[in-house]
Amino acid sequence: MSNVETILPGQWLGMVGGGQLARMFCYAAQRMGYKVAILDPDHFSPAGAVADKHICAAYDDTAALQQLAELCPAITTEFENVPAQSLNRLAEHSRVTPSGEAVSVVQDRIREKQFISKAGVPVVPHCVVHSMEDLLKADAALFPGILKAARFGYDGKGQARVQTKEQALEAFANFGQVACVLESLQPLEDEISVIVARSLDGKTAIYTPSHNQHRDGILAVSTAANPCRLTPYHEQAKTAAIAIAESLNYYGVLCVEFFVLADGTLLANEIAPRPHNSGHFTIEACLSSQFEQQVRVMAGLPLGSPQDLQLSKMFNLLGDLWFDEQGHHQEPNWSALLALPGVYLHLYGKNEARKGRKMGHVTLLAPNAKQLQAKALQVAEILG
């Protein structure tokens, strides 16, 4: 980006979306002296309670977008399903990172996969599905597979595992015949993700990859790799994430999720155009967090250091924890958890616990792998 004006502390930064990522962005921005305005239609959004200003309106509300743009010289977003048009509209007045164009590529699994391949990074074998005929023509080698709606999926939603073509046709009908991709189901040895920040002058800062365990399609535990023990596929993932950010002409924080197969093959799964749940370890475990990088990029300031200070592991706290086996409400045992040294509790201020809802997370720090593992067992025990 040419002609980069620095936005100094004391000024306003804008955020489209008011979830937990926006809340953690507020903390980082406010610590550095910025004021934050968020746009979110929910009166009780996690970031609404923290931001300096909450514009409570729909993401495509023209008057609200104008209000945000007039207040904030720089604006970002915390989720990929924001209408790209809204970002383009904001960009007529303010500096918007990432751009509506970059977000629109990753909003759509079809464009996303085409784009990743074009950037020279391998993806899972798949085919594009616009119609029943596309499925009938699909290569038999793609089964068993996963049919994924091209748009609006998250946390495993909008996906169906299919053993056969018949099942795929049924799932496609159930999805209302919206555009999909059919991916072959891969035998995953591991899943990793990499967070990269790219500044307005094209410099990048890249974090140590993290290993991610999912339960029911939702991230459960994320462990930052040991920066002294990176394997070739960790390095490949870092190189691929930078290549993707550069070819997207991306400004801001971006996460790339990868699958690792038994023979070490690395396949890019998807891109998130924002800080990511698997990067929450960076808040305590790194010199500068992913949220601080988001602030720095928006403001046109130098990137912070992504260097690790300690080993870390993050546990997501899903709403399930607030219910006992009989389905009665219970409060997790915070006292036992917080009695452990090096434990950081984050709760997002959501008013109601629901199963599968991300209510918060816990990050553990430890100076070595043995201590981290011992502490992780204690945390797992306490959280049940």
Binding-site sequence positions: 109, 148, 153-159, 191, 214, 269-270
Beta bridge partners of 318: 358
**x-marked contacts with Mg ion along 229-258 as a string, rule CB under 5 A:** ----------------------------x-
108 binds ligand ADP (CB under 6 A): no
Interface residue with ligand ADP among 27, 154, 323, 344 (CB under 6 A) is 154
Rounded distance between C-alpha atoms, residue 55 and residue 381, angstroms = 41
Rg for the chain (alpha carbons), in Å? 21
Pairing of strands 53-55, 35-39: parallel
- The structure tokens listed for 144 are 């068993």
Shortest spacing between CB 257 and ligand ADP, in angstroms: 6
Nearest to 206 by CA among 178, 171, 168, 246: 246
Rounded distance between C-alpha atoms, residue 158 and residue 163, angstroms = 17
217 binds ligand ADP (CB under 6 A): yes
284 binds ligand ADP (CB under 6 A): no
Contact window for ligand ADP (CB under 6 A) among 132-140, 154-162, 166-174, 336-344: 154-162
Residue 163: Cβ within 10 Å count = 11
Q: Which is nearer to Mg ion, 257 or 292 (CB)?
A: 257
Residues 252-271 that bind ligand ADP (CB under 6 A): 257, 269-270
**x-marked contacts with ligand ADP along 2-21 as a string, rule CB under 6 A:** --------------------
Contact window for ligand ADP (CB under 6 A) among 14-22, 91-99, 183-191, 352-360: 183-191
Burial pattern 175-210, b for ≥16 Cβ within 10 A else e, equals beeebbbbbbebeeeebbbbbbbbbbeeebbbbbbb
Interface residue with ligand ADP among 191, 284, 292, 308 (CB under 6 A) is 191
Q: Which ranges of 165-224 does DSSP label H, i.e. alpha helix?
A: 165-174
**x-marked contacts with ligand ADP along 112-141 as a string, rule CB under 6 A:** ------------x-----------------
Rounded (10°) CA dihedral 195, 111, 176, 277? 0
Q: Which secondary-structure segment (H or E) carries 233?
A: helix 232-247
Which of the choices Mg ion, ligand ADP, none does residue 191 contact, using the CB cut-off of 5 to 8 A by kind? ligand ADP
Q: Which is nearer to ligand ADP, 271 or 382 (CB)?
A: 271
Q: What SS3 class is residue 294?
A: helix
Q: Which is nearer to ligand ADP, 146 or 295 (CB)?
A: 146
Q: Which secondary-structure segment (H or E) carries 270?
A: strand 266-272
Q: Which is nearer to ligand ADP, 32 or 185 (CB)?
A: 185
CA distances from 82 to 50, 134, 183, 296 (A): 21, 29, 25, 22
Per rule CB under 6 A, count of chain residues that contact ligand ADP: 16
Rounded distance between C-alpha atoms, residue 147 and residue 183, angstroms = 6
292 binds ligand ADP (CB under 6 A): no
AA letter at 58:
A
Q: Which is nearer to ligand ADP, 125 or 342 (CB)?
A: 125
Interface residue with ligand ADP among 9, 83, 153, 342 (CB under 6 A) is 153
C-beta of residue 285 within 8 angstroms of C-beta of residue 365: yes
Residues in binding site for ATP: 109, 148, 153-159, 191, 214, 269-270
85 φ/ψ sector (left φ>0, alpha ψ -120 to 50, else beta): alpha
Q: What is the DSSP letter of 301?
A: P
Contact window for ligand ADP (CB under 6 A) among 86-94, 186-194, 227-235, 342-350: 186-194
Judged by the rule CB under 6 A, the positions of this chain that interact with ligand ADP are 124, 146, 153-156, 183, 185-186, 188, 191, 214, 217, 257, 269-270
Judged by the rule CB under 5 A, the positions of this chain that interact with Mg ion are 257
